[in-house]
Structure 1
Amino acid sequence: MPSFDIVSEIDTVELRNAVDNASRELTTRFDFRGVEASFEMQKDESVRMNAEGDFQLKQMRDILRANLAKRGVDANAMEAKQEEASGKNWHQIVAFKQGIETSMSKKIVKLIKDKKMKVQASIQGEKVRVTGKKRDDLQAVMSVIREAELGQPFQFENFRD
Structure 2
Amino acid sequence: MPSFDIVSEIDMHEVTNAVDQAKRELGNRWDFKNVEADIEQDDKGITLSAEQEFQLEQLLDMLRMAFAKRNVDTRALEESGDSKAGKLVKQHFTLRQGIETPDAKKIVKLLKDSKMKVQASIQGDKVRVTGKKRDDLQAAIALIKESDLDMPLQYNNFRD
- TM-score after normalising by structure 1: 0.97
Identity, in percent, stands at 57
Partners of 1:81 and 1:4 lie apart in 2 by: 32
Please identify runs of 4+ aligned residues in structure 1 that moved more than 6 A.
none
CA distance in 1, matches of 2:57, 2:37: 12
Aligned partner of residue 82 in structure 1, secondary structure: strand
Given that 2:83 and 2:89 are in contact with CA atoms closer than 8 Å, whether structure 1 keeps it comes out as yes
Distance in 2 (CA, whole Å) between partners of 1:71 and 1:49 is 19
- State whether residues 80 and 93 of structure 2, in contact with CA within 8 Å, keep that contact through their aligned partners in structure 1: yes
State whether structure 2 residue 103 is matched by structure 1 residue 104: yes
Q: How does 1:20-99 map to 2 (within 5 A)?
A: 20-44=20-44, 46-99=45-98
Q: Distance in 2 between matches of 1:69 and 1:79?
A: 16
Alpha-carbon distance between aligned partners in 2 of 1:53 and 1:42, rounded to the nearest angstrom: 22
Deviation at residue 81 of structure 1 after TM alignment: 2.5
Which residue number in structure 2 is paired with residue 133 of structure 1?
A: 132
- Give the structure-2-normalised TM-score: 0.98
The root-mean-square deviation of aligned C-alpha atoms, in Å, is 0.7
> Deviations along 1:28-82, whole A, 9 cap, x unmatched?
11110110111111122x1111111111111101100000000000111111222
Please give the secondary structure, in 2, of the residue aligned with 1:136.
helix
Contact kept? 1:38, 1:49, Cα under 8 Å: yes
Structure 1: which 5+ residue stretches go unaligned? none
Displacement of 1:86: 1.3
Which residue in the other structure is 1:15 paired with? 15
Distance in 1, matches of 2:7 and 2:101, equals 12
Work out the number of aligned pairs and report it: 160
The CA distance in 2 between the partners of 1:86 and 1:47, in whole Å, is 16
**1:6-37 per-position Cα deviation (integer Å, ceiling 9, x unaligned):** 00001000000000000000011111011011
